[in-house]
Each structure stands twice: as C-alpha cells, then as structure tokens.
Structure 1
Amino acid sequence: MTLPKLVASLVAATVVLGGCAAAVDTRASRREALAEQLYPPTGQLLQVNGRTVHAHVEGQGPDLVLIHGASGNTRDFTFKLVDQLKDRYRVIAFDRPGMGWSDDMGAEGLSPLVQADVLRAAADQLGVKNPLVLGHSYGGSVALAWGLRAPGDTAGLVIVSGASMPWPGGLGALNAVTASDFGGATIVPLLTAYVAPERTEPVVEAIFAPQAAPEGYAEYIGIGLSLRRDSFRTNAKQLSNLKPYLQLMMPNYAKLPMPVEIVHGTGDTIVPSKVHGEPLSKLIPGAHLTLLPDIGHMPQHVAAPAVIAAIDRAAARAGLR
C-alpha cells in the first residue's frame, strides 16, 4: 500500500476510531519513545533562546555547516558523508528546528530565514567563523537564507538538490492533509501509532530514485524520529509554507557575494533541476552549476564525489584552501 492510499484508509479509520483517541495516543507515545531510545542524539544539545538545537561536530579545519532536507536529521550526513570530510574540515551538522533533536520554533520557525538565524546562533556557541554552508533539498533554502542573513561572515554556499525557487503547482494531497489542523489532530497521530518504519522503505526508495538507497540507510536514518507527531506536523507545515518565503528571498539572490556551488541531478523529480538549480545559477553572479546526468534527489549518497568536489571548490574559491 502506498502512503497516500494508507492515508486515505486512515481517514476512514478516524470515523471508526473516533472514540479511541486515548488508545491511539498511548500507542503513538510508545512508538515515539522507542524511536528516541533507538536513535538518541549523536552530538551536542545547545540552547538558543530557550530552545534546543542539536549539533553533530567532527573533524578539524575550516568550518563546514551541513543542513539537511525535509523529514530528515543529521543522520543523513553522518551515514557516510561526514566521514569523507572530517579529515580536512570541522563539520557541523545541525538538526533543523522541529526535526531530529532540535526543538520546533512555532509559527516563526516556518521561515527558512528564521531557521537560519537559529542555526547561526547555535553555530556562534560552537565558535564557528566564516563557514562554508551546505544545504540539501529544503536545507538549500536555509543555506541560502544563511548567506542572505550573514553575507559578510559566510565563506561560501553549496546548494545540493536545493529547493530555491517558487515552483508551479502544489505539493499533493498528503502534505495538504497532514499540514492542516484537522489532519494534524487526526491523521498524524494515526500515522505515528500504526505506520511501522519498515513500511516507509518504499518512500525512501522513491526519494532516491532512479538510484537505489544505499544498503543500511533506511535503518540508520531513524525514520521513527520523523514519524513522531510533532516532527510530522512541523515538517508538513514547513513544506506547505516554503513557497512564499522563496518568493521573498529570490529577488535578493543576486546580492549574494560569496562563492556559490550548485549541484543538482537531472533525474531529480522531487526538486527538479530545471525549476530550481538551473534558474538559481542564473540569478547569482559567479555561481557554478554542476548538473549530474540521470542522478536523482540524493547526490550526497549516490554521487558523493561530485558533492565533495563542489565543497572543495567553494573552499578554494573562498580562500580557505
């Protein structure tokens, strides 16, 4: 059963289980507790204005900040990429607000600009200076916001499969339902309570398509963390509210003064290169675009050498190497 069909069946189930909210809540709470036990924080828990921000830090060298995409967490980077970078960079991977082990920022946290401010404040606590900032997928919008907010203290940007431009159309019924107040109160608890992480493997495969997900990735990433009720709701709302912020940010991209490397797969159907990466490269003076033929949405895993080369180019262009 696909996830949209599963959601449809759960909509019907809300009628049947309308009097069983307590049972659903209890089961969802047990599933959340198990996910948190299996996938604890791997790094430091910092406090920014009374909210927790999770940062995984490894390595030595120029500072390199990594910002993950929708439904993700730092584990997307610690799966393999960090190990390939820590010999020459101090790598700081953050959980974005509301995801992984970082606290939600409420309505204001729906803005990539505010998310960037929060992560910059956390980076300040770690002594981060003039970093390279890499953002993948949704994290690409946060990386661009970081550059816009701190143009004089950002060495360079690396945008990987980044959501950077307003796109035509919407995001589909699943996101619309789970982002709504009704869906957040009814459908999301049912998903948390009854969708086992292993049943989401087809979703993981679809994110990697046309390539296959690396062996062990689905088990490592901690999908149960993303299935927690608060994380699920926050992710859906962040996605639903992203386009207006990109419309606000887009006219300012041309002002970005730092080196910008853009890496995008031509086979990406989730964040298509022709809608995002290619137009973005034309808006930023001096931006360098690397198009990866037939590569999908996850080049940091299936085409890691190209991503690492882009990081090294940005560092060289910024005079960090």
Structure 2
Amino acid sequence: MSLLISCSASFGQAAAHDAEAQPLLTDVGGYRLNSILIQAGGKKDLPPIVFIHGASTTLYDPMLSFRERLEGRGTLLFIDRPGHGRSDAGGRENVSPDGQADAISTLMEKRGIGGAIIVGHSFGGAIAAALAIRHPDKVRGIVFLSPAVYPWSSGVAWYYDAASAPVAGALFSAFIVPPLGLLAINRATKAVFAPNQPPAGYVEKTKALQAIRPQAFRHNAREIAALSDWAKVAAKQYRYIKAPTIIITGDTDKIVSPDIHARHLARDIPGARLIVVHNLGHKSDYIANDLAIAAIERVAGRKVDLLGMARAVEKRIANDCSD
C-alpha cells in the first residue's frame, strides 16, 4: 500500500510538473506568440527571467540549457520569437528587433510579468537591447550572451540571401531548404558550437528541425538580412540603457564577432561588464551555462565571483577543438 501511495504521489508531481510547462498561445495584438511560463517555487531567490532565443531556433533551445538549473528559483518565461516555433510571424514590423521587442513586452504583461531580467542569446541580444530602449520599465537587468547588436560589412550565409529574395526566396525556402536542411543540420550545429561540442541529443531535444520549415526559414532569413541596417540606428541608443548589464562572449566565436559586437556593446552601455572566455565559441548559453547563471545572479544583486567562474569554464574547455 505504501508503495502504491508513493507511486501515485510521484505520478501526481510529474503530471503537475508537465502541466506547468505546457506551451500557451497568447494574442499580442492580432497575432499570437507561443510561450512557456514556469512559476517560481519555494526556493525563489531571483526575480522573473525572460529568455529570448537566437536565430534558427525556438524556445526549447534556452529551455534545455537553463530550465533544470533555474527552475523554482524565479518565474521563468521562454518565448518563441515572432515567426519561430509555434508563434505567428505578425506584421512586417516583426522582421525588426523593435517590433519583436514590442510584442514580447505585451506578452510579458499578459503573462503577469511586470519586469524581469532579460537573457538574450545572439540575435536575441538585439531584441533584449530593443526591449531595454523601448520598454525600460520591463527590464530589471540584461545578460547578453554572444550578442549580435551592431552593423557589419561582410555578407551572411548564401542560403539566407537566397531565402530572403522577394520572389525566388519563397520557392527556395519551400523546395530547397527542407531536404538540404535535413542533410546539413548536424554539420551546421557543430559549426555553431565550434570549437566546443554540442550536448548529446541537442537537435532532437531543442526541436531544431522546426527552423527548416519554409515559412520559419524565410522569416529568419529576412530578420538576419535586416539586422545590420537596424543596428546602424539602434546602436546610437545603447548609451541610454540603464539596467545592470553583463555581456558574455567567446574569443573563438566564428558566428558573431566578439570585437564587432560584444566588446563594442560593453563600451556603449554605461557600467556594463564584459567577460570574454578563451576558447569559447558561439554557444555561450550552453558551454558557459554556469557562468551565464552566475551573471543572472549578479544582475539580480547577488555577490558572485564572475571572473573565477570564467576561469573555471576556460579550464574545462581548454582542450576543445573543432573536428
């Protein structure tokens, strides 16, 4: 009998855990954003935290990296950005980080979050910056992880250029991207993590194949094509960001240049702290996950030895190299 009661209790706890993590589509002004809200538990010691994913992915990317380590410590909101995952693309304004920041601000209100620490990885860093500029009351602190926030002169990948073309882009996204993406996704994942290694089962657990659906891929390509021009204007406003800010980047990031983006951002945001990790690639949200969590704690006001943690990460990944 005691075994039966124990099993029933465990099943009930697991069911409650799963029910709490169900995605919800929320109208944010004529279109819907998908999100998962996980309420703080009894060990709450952090304010709400909003996670904004990067390009070519969904909310399951930061959720896989951060949920287990932070669940219960604060209310966690994981969001599919407009046009990604299960979220609607919305209007043309959502190609820009400004439009996406406005949508996320509305979603935060509707999900009961007045203000939060914003964690943005890569392209998500641009939305985090836009949130801080356009909705400063919603931002209690920012953790930028390998952010893409400034204009650059070089091109982007050829397949993004092809997918963003006005007419041919729709055909390319519909007929070329899905089969090509299936063949290339593992190689592309390794390139994004390089010189570090992706965790086992990363593609499956983060539902990464959603990114090669025609509409999602084309929306993503349009975002990336528009980002540099957006940054030319937005970068002039970074000096007005007042929220406590920590920026984490890797010195071997081949996807987003730390010199063009992270180092520049640290100079522009008053009081921002920059941490550059040796031999870290683009996926600081995974490879330097413990450092990122420490940064969240720091902007929340807790005393944390960030440099000591950064050196520990460097020691752990010192021998990482690309295949």
Q: TM-score range, shorter-chain basis?
A: 0.7 to 0.9
1:44 corresponds in structure 2 to 24
Please, what TM-score do these two structures have when normalized by structure 2?
Answer: 0.82
Q: State the SS of the aligned residue for 1:181.
A: coil
Once the two structures are aligned, what percentage of the paired residues are identical?
A: 30
1:310 corresponds in structure 2 to 295
Once residues 72 and 82 of structure 2 are traced to their aligned partners in structure 1, the CA distance between those partners, rounded to angstroms, is 28
1:123 corresponds in structure 2 to 108
- Given that 2:58 and 2:208 are in contact with CA atoms closer than 8 Å, whether structure 1 keeps it comes out as no
Once residues 210 and 261 of structure 1 are traced to their aligned partners in structure 2, the CA distance between those partners, rounded to angstroms, is 23
Shift of 1:193: 4.5
Runs of 4+ displaced beyond 4 Å: none
Shift of 1:172: 3.3
2:275 corresponds in structure 1 to 290
Shift of 1:198: 5.6
Once residues 112 and 316 of structure 1 are traced to their aligned partners in structure 2, the CA distance between those partners, rounded to angstroms, is 28
Is 1:56 the equivalent of 2:36? yes
Shift of 1:59: 3.7
- Given that 2:145 and 2:284 are in contact with CA atoms closer than 8 Å, whether structure 1 keeps it comes out as yes
1:201 corresponds in structure 2 to 186
Mapping of residues 94-243 of structure 1, within 5 Å: 94-195=79-180, 197=182, 199-243=184-228
Once residues 184 and 157 of structure 2 are traced to their aligned partners in structure 1, the CA distance between those partners, rounded to angstroms, is 20
- Given that 1:97 and 1:103 are in contact with CA atoms closer than 8 Å, whether structure 2 keeps it comes out as yes
Please, what TM-score do these two structures have when normalized by structure 1?
Answer: 0.83
Once residues 99 and 133 of structure 2 are traced to their aligned partners in structure 1, the CA distance between those partners, rounded to angstroms, is 12
Once residues 224 and 249 of structure 2 are traced to their aligned partners in structure 1, the CA distance between those partners, rounded to angstroms, is 20
Q: Residue by residue, what CA displacement relative to the aligned partner does 1:236-262 show, whole Å, maximum 9, x if unpaired?
A: 000000111111111111111110111
Amino acid at match of 2:24: Q
Shift of 1:42: 4.3
Once residues 258 and 220 of structure 1 are traced to their aligned partners in structure 2, the CA distance between those partners, rounded to angstroms, is 33
Once residues 154 and 241 of structure 2 are traced to their aligned partners in structure 1, the CA distance between those partners, rounded to angstroms, is 28
Once residues 186 and 221 of structure 2 are traced to their aligned partners in structure 1, the CA distance between those partners, rounded to angstroms, is 19
Q: State the SS of the aligned residue for 2:101.
A: helix
1:259 corresponds in structure 2 to 244
Q: Residue by residue, what CA displacement relative to the aligned partner does 1:112-155 show, whole Å, maximum 9, x if unpaired?
A: 01100001101100110221111100000000000001123311
Shift of 1:223: 2.5
Once residues 54 and 285 of structure 1 are traced to their aligned partners in structure 2, the CA distance between those partners, rounded to angstroms, is 33
Distance change (3 Å), C-alpha of 1:43 and 1:198: farther
- Given that 1:262 and 1:289 are in contact with CA atoms closer than 8 Å, whether structure 2 keeps it comes out as yes
In structure 2, stretches of 5+ residues that fail to align are 1-20, 304-323
1:37 corresponds in structure 2 to none
Q: State the SS of the aligned residue for 1:316.
A: coil
- Given that 1:63 and 1:89 are in contact with CA atoms closer than 8 Å, whether structure 2 keeps it comes out as yes
2:6 corresponds in structure 1 to none
- Given that 1:73 and 1:95 are in contact with CA atoms closer than 8 Å, whether structure 2 keeps it comes out as yes
Shift of 1:216: 0.7
Q: State the SS of the aligned residue for 2:55.
A: coil
Structure scoring higher RCO (CA < 8 A, sep ≥ 6) equals 1
Amino acid at match of 1:113: D
- Given that 1:259 and 1:317 are in contact with CA atoms closer than 8 Å, whether structure 2 keeps it comes out as no
- Given that 2:65 and 2:289 are in contact with CA atoms closer than 8 Å, whether structure 1 keeps it comes out as no
Amino acid at match of 2:193: F
